[in-house]
Chain A
Amino acid sequence: MKIITAIVITAFLAYVLGIYSTLPWWSFAISSFVVSVAIHQKPGKSFLAGFLGLFLLWAGLALMKDVANEHVLSTKVAQILPLGGSYIVLILVTGIVGGLVSGLAALAGSYLRKSK
């Protein structure tokens, strides 16, 4: 159940850092790294926890925004990027981008602990 804890804390800390909007968007990379150091898991699991923490947070927040907005903006952005105008793909891409950064940071955290 360690992985669930890691996912929840990763997401929670990323959300809290995100509230401070003067901080850069990638601040969660540091918190995900720290979580991974503190809750030690094997590299694969650490990556997964880091990835899912941010994937769920970002995709979830994007989904909430998008539903309230009735897809007005996401449909446009998904043409600009270009993702074929699909808001679903855009939400997934949002989650994956956040997830990858967080997952890699968590992976580094996991290796740091092992190296001691």
Chain B
Amino acid sequence: MRIVPFLLSGLCTVGLVIALNTQLPAGGSKTPRLGYFLSPQLGFWQNAEPANTNFSGEIKLANLKGKVDVYMDDRLVPHIYAENDLDAYYVEGFLHAKYRLWQMEFQTYVAGGRLSEIVGEERLPTDRFFRRLGMVYGAEQTMANMEKNPEMKATMEAYSDGVNAYIKSLLPQQIPFEYKLLDYKPEAWSPFKTYLFLMYMSYDLTGKGSTSDLQMTNAKNYFGYEDFNKLFPNVEDSLDPIIPKGTMFVKPAIVPKIPANIDSAYFGKTINSTAMAPVVPDKDNGSNNWAVSGSKTKSGRPILCNDPHLGLNLPSLWYEVQINTPTHNTYGASFPGSPAVIIGFNDSIAWGVTNAGRDVLDFFDMKFKDSTMSEYMYNGVWTKAAHRKEVIKVKGKPDQVEDMAMTVFGPVMYDRAYKNQSSEGKYLAVKWTASTPGNAVETFYRLNRAKNYDDYLKATSLWSCPGQNFVFASKTNDIAIKQQGAFIAKWKRQGDFIMPGTDSSYDWQGIIPTDENPMIKNPARGFVSSANQMAVDTTYPYYLGTANSFPLYRGIIINRKLTEMNGITPEDMQHLQMENYNVFAEMARPVLLWNIDENALNADEKKYIDIVKNWNLKGDYSEKGATVFKCLWDSLEAEVWRDDYQKSKLPMPWPDAPTLLENLLRDSVYAFADNINTPDKKETIKDDAMIAIKKATAHLKELEASHTLEWGKFKDTRVNHLLKIPALSRLHLPIGGGEHMINATKPTHGPSWRMIVHLTDEIEAYVVYPGGQNGNPGSKYYDSFVDSWAAGKYYRVLFVNKAAAAKHEKMKWHITFTNN
């Protein structure tokens, strides 16, 4: 009888199949289902794109009105030639999905608080945070608003149909690599997902307050309002604003009324919080943009430049595209997940954006009758609160339901169910312009079609969130910049801390009219620029926010360089975008050296001080001085602040770089220099500097021993895959730059798209981004631009009409889309 071995081998087979068909835990994450993943006919091998892939084809789809021709150039940039606008967006959606589907969907899972659904309960904190911040709620508000706009509604639907046409055409083995790795499947797209994605951009660019308002409140309570003001000032001496100093502003339409009880109920009141977002937007989410008029260029025509600084990721946030229809011919960077071009140019004009950095997210401290949160005190009466349920699906676990009370301000984000160790039964409602009905991408839709300055002004005036500095240049030699968004008319310090929410006196009192937003056209100096600095000086009638929201030094160096430059060419602009000169170090180095007694240094310390002395102030890849300076200055800051911070049990923000420098430039006897732990001794900044050198030297010797004293090696720039898997990322990139420099390339953050547009009759444009057009890690186009980007090389853009495209030698593939 062979029944026993039969059963045994049968069981072994079944057991092995089950094991290979299960996601097994491995070092904090899970393996793919190995049998499926390795199967050459179903699994990841199917994503190994042949190096000589022919991307041409004839594709028949439903819903197209006419024929669409797409020429793909040798960098895999599609040039879409459509007979009407909706067909163009349909095909843009199709191509976004074809090359970036996993990324587009993943970004909406993050924004919509759905990561637990695909990853598991370890991502529940992120999901709860985004749900409770009102990301889904905000997307619903904007969607409802845009449903009333037939032109935009049709655009969003055409785009969504295009995405879905691709998803429907996918065979199971063709789904992108990451779905197989994490073991889930693409679902249908919808315009709502585009709105969710845009909410994520709003969070990334204006969501800092969701953490910083709470931490600033802690710092204010801990230091007292007076000392707080010294550490977190409202304005900095060296500011060179976007709108040149001395510009006159019109009389404000709104004069916000300061609440009567402000000293006791706001500046003096103690509301502690340890809340921290699981995903904190980078403090330097920023960017550079500028435009020079023909008076400063060699050709006599304007040049516009933009490099938005964001998290550096693979697949990239950006996808390059040309869209050509009878109404417009536009080229630039698009968002996979959204129709139209976001940063770019057309036949007549060019535009770019940087982040405005204004505070548009505030917290209100609510008083509820009881823990059911059914009624809250508002203007002296108990007011009914609506409730909103957010259901979070969790892989392999029961659903998590968030019950949020909705108030006149917005959702109650923090309550008894979602709290932190010291909020002690507080109810904090969040009010955020991103959650109010917006116009989504209509501004970009109109900029894509803008012919002149007036069109630009009309298009940008629709923009609400996230507030941006829109730079503009036209072939007709106009240049302009405008800071646009729904900005709140605030009294000084309004919303920097948690505000009382029991009545309307602390509420926002109005949105600043768009024509009062900072703007300038064709200034005498021949250029406009922005680098996230404060847009205006203190003569502007509205409060902009704490100075630490606005990086100071890039703006100074950009304006200095542009003032000096004449006869400018696009090549000069390429060098300017890659400029690694550190203007902060230029100001701080003398201060550091004044405070050092060189006779008291040992040989090692002296060596490092000499490196700093001889440094050319540039953050080039091989500069050791940049590393030594950074370690010394950081060490000095730590010496000055640490003792003042260490007794606080709550998270507080560290003062921004300019705070110490500007104070030392102003006043060499700096009160914070004293170490409060040594009451019998009064330390001066000189004492702190000497201690700082000793401590930094120990660290610098370690760096030297590990051969990472060169700035580029020390900084170690990388472009991470969205899942932070090293094998899918590009590590140790040979690039300089960093904080305070025009080339703001930090370890995982920096210029995510570099663009230079020369507005000659036939537009001459150069672009590059740290990624590649194909999001598939199995494609050679996955990271094909990364090395050029790191080396500061650009690609000359192909911006041609359809007849020229058909004949152009660099157009390697041709895809036709027709109705079936």
* Chain A residues in 8 Å Cβ range of B778: 69, 72-73, 76
* Binary flags per residue of A69-109, CB closer than 8 Å to B gives 1, else 0: 11011101101100001000000011001101100110110
Known: A73-B45, A73-B778, A94-B38. 4 other contacts (CB 8 A): A65-B48, A72-B778, A76-B778, A105-B13
A61 to B46 alpha-carbon distance, docked (Å): 10
- Please determine whether B40 and A61 come into contact, CB atoms closer than 8 angstroms: yes
- Interface residues of B, CB < 8 Å — how many? 45
Task: Report the stretch among B407-415, B487-495, B720-728 that lies at the interface.
Answer: B720-728
Does B12 reach chain A (CB closer than 8 Å)?
A: yes
* Binary flags per residue of B170-206, CB closer than 8 Å to A gives 1, else 0: 0111000100010000000000000000000000000
| CB-based nearest B residue for A103 | B13
- Please determine whether B48 and A73 come into contact, CB atoms closer than 8 angstroms: yes
* Chain A residues in 8 Å Cβ range of B648: none
* Chain B residues in 8 Å Cβ range of A93: 38
- Please determine whether A26 and B21 come into contact, CB atoms closer than 8 angstroms: yes
Task: Write the nearest CB–CB distance from B17 to chain A, whole angstroms.
Answer: 5
* Chain A residues in 8 Å Cβ range of B41: 15, 18-19, 21, 25, 61
| CB-based nearest B residue for A100 | B16
A72 to B10 alpha-carbon distance, docked (Å): 38
Task: Write the nearest CB–CB distance from B335 to chain A, whole angstroms.
Answer: 25
Does B118 reach chain A (CB closer than 8 Å)?
A: no
- Please determine whether A115 and B171 come into contact, CB atoms closer than 8 angstroms: no
* Chain A residues in 8 Å Cβ range of B725: 80
Does B36 reach chain A (CB closer than 8 Å)?
A: yes
* Chain B residues in 8 Å Cβ range of A25: 21, 35-36, 39, 41-43
* Binary flags per residue of B100-130, CB closer than 8 Å to A gives 1, else 0: 0000000000000000000000000000000
29 contacts between A and B (CB under 8 A): A15-B41, A18-B42, A22-B172, A24-B21, A25-B35, A33-B13, A57-B40, A58-B38, A61-B40, A61-B41, A62-B45, A65-B46, A68-B48, A68-B50, A69-B50, A73-B177, A74-B48, A80-B181, A80-B725, A80-B727, A93-B38, A97-B38, A101-B35, A104-B9, A107-B9, A107-B12, A107-B13, A108-B10, A108-B13
- Please determine whether A18 and B177 come into contact, CB atoms closer than 8 angstroms: no
Does B6 reach chain A (CB closer than 8 Å)?
A: yes
Task: Write the nearest CB–CB distance from A52 to chain B, whole angstroms.
Answer: 16
Task: Write the nearest CB–CB distance from B399 to chain A, whole angstroms.
Answer: 28
**A residues neighboring B (CB under 8 Å):** 15, 18-19, 21-22, 24-26, 29, 33, 43, 57-58, 61-62, 65-66, 68-70, 72-74, 76-77, 79-80, 85, 93-94, 97-98, 100-101, 104-105, 107-108, 111-112, 114-115
**B residues neighboring A (CB under 8 Å):** 1-3, 5-6, 9-10, 12-13, 16-17, 20-21, 34-36, 38-52, 171-173, 177, 181, 725-728, 777-780, 782
* Chain B residues in 8 Å Cβ range of A77: 44, 727
A93 to B531 alpha-carbon distance, docked (Å): 52
Say yes or no: A73-B50 contact (C-beta < 8 A), given A18-B42, A21-B172. no
| CB-based nearest A residue for B726 | A79
A19 to B16 alpha-carbon distance, docked (Å): 23
* Chain A residues in 8 Å Cβ range of B44: 73, 77
* Chain B residues in 8 Å Cβ range of A24: 21, 36
A69 to B16 alpha-carbon distance, docked (Å): 30
| CB-based nearest B residue for A113 | B2
- Please determine whether A62 and B727 come into contact, CB atoms closer than 8 angstroms: no
Say yes or no: A66-B17 contact (C-beta < 8 A), given A94-B40, A97-B38, A111-B2. no
